Copies of this chain bind each other. A is one copy, B any other.
Amino acid sequence: MSHKIAILGASGYTGAELVRLIATHPGLEIAALAANSKAGQDMAQVFPHLRHLDLPVLVTIDEIDFADIDLCFCALPHKTSQEVISALPRDLKIVDLSADFRLRDPAAYERWYGNPHAAPELQKEAVYGLTEFYRDEIRAARLVAGTGCNAATGQYLLRPLISAGVIDLDEIILDLKCGVSGAGRSLKENLLHAELSEGYHAYALGSTHRHLGEFDQEFTALAGREVKVQFTPHLIPANRGILATGYVHGDAAKVHAALAAAYAGEPFIEVLPLGEAPSTRHVRGSNFCHIGVVADRREGRTILVGALDNLTKGSSGQALQNANLMLDIQETEGLMMAPVFP
């Protein structure tokens, strides 16, 4: 049996990535694609790489009859998402890829995003979409909030260590190297090829990046006390990939053991042998996350490295994994493609 799905925001990169993944998913059928600014166009005009697929023409959100839809992916910009979802049927299953429902606390939301939340009651209802740690809640959820791609990467490195109590909670540094597609398809001078290629830089310095709201919420809840990590992202001239380098105080063997134990049964998280470290190029285009642990020369200091594809495991792949759970489909369906290398 095939479930009918809709994708709102189909003209952005996460929307296109959803279509790519669902294209070979045997249990899902794309019944509607919405992109208000490009309504009326064929998907082949907007994303020629999807030309071979038989897809519905792009429509406005208003044109969709949601009675026919089993699950809706919202790949809309932040803030727009909460407005749109507020107006959708209250029994429609939704996976939201925006930042709008990641933070449970309206005050925290307002602090990080600068505006009051337009749908605080939905904010309460939403389940945080980090599959490996919220699997049961997601299975039962109606509205799942996809995590930030940076937030996912950092949490894959740190959650098991916080739970196992093997690191100093006051000394956590995350230095991230992020691919370009994470910034989306928006027209900004600093995203032009001529501006971006052949160089790299740090941004959102001083731990001001919004994904810190997620770290604070999740790590503090997990630890039962305030945890404030330092987090500096860097923009790298490559399209896909997040590489998170974590600096922690803790014993490398214990750290490695905690990670290996936490992810032992996980289909998408690969913990490398102690002493090895991953590369973004080895997860590109896939739903896998590779994690490495290395002891520093200074005793009691350990370096963590995590790699995933921001558009797949960090966003649309995660969304599909969650949708599979919500629709009672095999969790890995449509997601086992190997990375594309070189």
Contact = CB atoms under 8 A, between A and B. Distances in A.
Given A177-B177, A297-B208, A201 B234 contact: no
Contact of A290 (B47, B51, B180, B240): B51
B237 A202 contact: no
B239 A205 contact: no
Interface string A290-312: 10101111100101010100010
Interface of A: 13, 16, 19-20, 23-24, 47-53, 173, 175, 177, 180-181, 183, 185, 187-189, 191-203, 205-208, 212, 228, 230, 232, 234, 236-241, 243, 245, 247, 268, 270, 272, 275, 277-286, 288, 290, 292, 294-298, 301, 303, 305, 307, 311, 336-342
A286 B239 CA distance: 18
B52 A281 contact: no
Given A197-B342, A239-B342, A240-B342, 12 more contacts: A48-B282, A51-B288, A177-B236, A195-B281, A199-B279, A200-B243, A200-B281, A201-B307, A205-B277, A228-B298, A237-B238, A284-B340
A170 to B, nearest CB: 9
Given A180-B194, A277-B201, A187 B188 contact: yes
Nearest to A171: B171
A194 B13 contact: yes
Contacts of A192: 180, 185, 187, 191-193
A167 to B, nearest CB: 15
A19 B338 CA distance: 9
A341 B296 contact: no
A24 B336 contact: yes
